[in-house]
């Protein structure tokens, strides 16, 4: 379903780049399902392999991350 489509789109987010939850939802086929896109990221069983840390809020702030916001910031800084 939608969560699987979101996770497939996450695989296309290039190393060192970010995408907004809004854009991710649109690319997965449901532009108004921003919260559902966030839930798909939060329940990602492979958060490093399928790079959900590259998804940020539309205003550029980090948003949440399963491993904590500090871990998300560290991963993004490493890239």
CA 35 to chain centre: 11
pLDDT of residue 29: 96
Which one of 19, 24, 33, 52 is the catalytic residue?
52
Report d(CA 53, CA 23) in Å as an integer: 15
pLDDT tens digits for 21-78? 999 999 999 999 999 999 999 999 888 789 999 999 999 999 988 889 999 999 999 9
Q: How far apart are CA 6 and CA 38, in angstroms?
A: 9
Q: What is the pLDDT of residue 67?
A: 85
In this prediction the pTM is 0.90
Active site residue 52: yes
């Amino acid at each position: 379903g939608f969560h699987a489509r979101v996770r497939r789109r996450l695989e296309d987010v290039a190393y060192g780049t970010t995408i907004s939850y809004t854009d991710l939802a649109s690319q997965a086929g449901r532009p108004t399902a921003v919260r559902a896109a966030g839930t798909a990221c939060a329940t990602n069983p492979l958060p490093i392999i399928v790079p959900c840390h590259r998804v940020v809020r539309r205003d550029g702030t980090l948003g949440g991350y399963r491993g904590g916001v500090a871990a998300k910031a560290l991963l993004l800084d490493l890239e």
